[in-house]
Amino acid sequence: MTNDDVLIIGSGIAALQLAVQLTDDVNVRILTKEKLRTANSYLAQGGIAAALGANDHPSKHIADTLEAGRFHNNPDTVQQIIQAAPNLIQRIAQQGDIFDKDQAGELYLGMEGAHSEKRIVHGGGDATGKNVMEFLISQLKLKKNITVEENVFAYELLLNSDQKRCIGVKAKTSTGAIQRFYGKHVIIASGGCGQLYTYTSNAPTVSGDGIAMAYLAGADVVDMEFIQFHPTLLYINGETKGLISEAVRGEGATLVTEDGTQIMEGVHPLKDLGPRHVVSQRIYDFLKKGKQVYLDISNIKEFRKRFPSITSICEDNGIHISDGKIPIAPGSHFLMGGIKTDLIGRSSLDGLYAIGEAACTGLHGANRLASNSLLEGLFQGEKLSQWINEASKEPLVLAQDYFYYPPHKEEKFTLPTIEKIKALMMERVGIVRNKVNLKKQQAWLEQYQVEKILLDTCSTQDMTKVFMLITASLITESALIRTESRGGHFRSDYPKEDQHGWLRKSIIHNYKQGMEKSDEQIETALAT
């Protein structure tokens, strides 16, 4: 048993930003499912958005964020994070050689979809996540108050005796042993749920664990219907092989069919740089008709130099950059919803926090603006560290009557394969949704009754399936309730936005209190 001031579940940019900025008198423990570098953040090719250009201003960045999010965003959250972005990036840039610069020595600013100005800061061309992560890892190694535990699978949040405060987590180690970790501040930074879908840009570890754990513990989970599908994943023989950053289209690549027809002409004013849900749906329509879509990169000069990581991914999979075309398909990329938190990450359950993609602060609304995610993680990590640094340093007292172990009824259970879960989510709750398919998926998920399974007796693979099924249920139910199309949620039976009934309403799930379904309940939850 361990007892720390701060217990962090996950090891992405938000987690490490938090850890390195906590003062040396705060005892920190990081639990990560696999290795420190297997987080989604490490794979991030794109960049970080900030209004740094001479012609740019945070007000423009705010407007773009709200437009991309289809005005489902929390305006106060958007304003605070976007206004803080320029200084945040400049401070990080001054600490190390992380970001790319132009010939004048200024930060090189790129363009991405749905942005009105060049404002994307990159590192290593298309290795921004890796660059920032390596910088944070180097800082982590200098801190003696931080312990990193790798290959530790967290699976159940521990509550106090009145079930009103989170005090720790149960986890399985690489040997299969169950261990309890306690902390005064328990932070979920485990990422989203991209692995619920057959086609995804996400790391293999990102399967909704943290969100499912928080839900089972009684924390509010919100906006789960809003899944962003990235338009351009490398697509070969029916499989996706990696992300092709939106920055490629920002540099001038276009989406074409085999015969060179540009598919975004007349579809959106921004054409190939339109919002991701618009571009993904357009590509999806062509693929359903059996027509392959490509990124035409023939007019990008020095592609290898500008995009070294993408070049390697393509050539490792037999695609020659010199041919000028990269076969692509859309896949799950980012979850706009998650554990409902305030700006710094406090959840509805005392003692439990969430930061990064696992959290829903309201920044992204119904669809994330490109390169706002790393920004949010860095911002939240910094803000939460400031709050914890100023909080009382009194340790968590682990009295015997402080503990609560929820009753479990151990039953024999059967679970589907991970491949089956992913395939049905892709088919029924993917880019295009409708009531018939959503109802089918809801019925299929309900048969497993995974909330009754005693996780202590499960293998880590079965735990992963349980968390995938729980998270899939949250997404499916939310998608069924939202009878409109907005951002990353597209209903073919309700193809238009309902500007009056659904503009700012959120669907909130709470395992212990039920789900808020009615308009009145949703509006009340939003107001509070």
Whole-model pTM: value is 0.91
User: Residue 262 corresponds to which tokens in the numbers above?
Assistant: 């540009």
Q: Compute the distance between CA of residue 468 and CA of residue 462 in angstroms, rounded to an integer.
A: 10
Look at residues 164, 224, 139 and name the one whose alpha carbon lies nearest to residue 349: 164
Residue 407, pLDDT score: 64
User: Residue 496 corresponds to which tokens in the numbers above?
Assistant: 């238009």
Q: 3-class DSSP state for residue 457?
A: helix
320-354 pLDDT, tens digit per residue, is: 999 999 999 999 999 999 999 999 999 999 999 99
Domains, the chain, ordered by start: 230-331 (3.90.700.10)
Residue 525, pLDDT score: 41
Residue 400, pLDDT score: 65
The secondary structure of 423-455, three-state, reads: HHHHHHCCCCECHHHHHHHHHHHHCCCHHHCCH
Q: 3-class DSSP state for residue 326?
A: strand
Crossing angle for the helix pair 58-68 and 75-95, to the nearest 10 degrees:
120
* Ranges of the chain with pLDDT below 50: 517-528
Residue 517, pLDDT score: 45
Residue 269, pLDDT score: 93
* Per-residue buried b or exposed e for 38-51, using 16+ beta carbons within 10 Å of the residue's own CB: bbbbbbbbbbbbbb
Residue 501, pLDDT score: 80
Whether 91 sits among the annotated catalytic residues: the reply is no
Instruction: Please provide the size of the chain in residues.
Output: 528
Residue 410, pLDDT score: 61
Look at residues 465, 188, 467 and name the one whose alpha carbon lies nearest to residue 339: 188
- Are the C-beta atoms of 482 and 225 separated by less than 8 Å? yes
Residue 405, pLDDT score: 67
What is the biggest distance separating any 2 CA atoms in the chain, rounded to whole angstroms?
71
- Are the C-beta atoms of 69 and 395 separated by less than 8 Å? no
Residue 515, pLDDT score: 67
The residue from 29, 70, 276, 428 that is catalytic is: 276
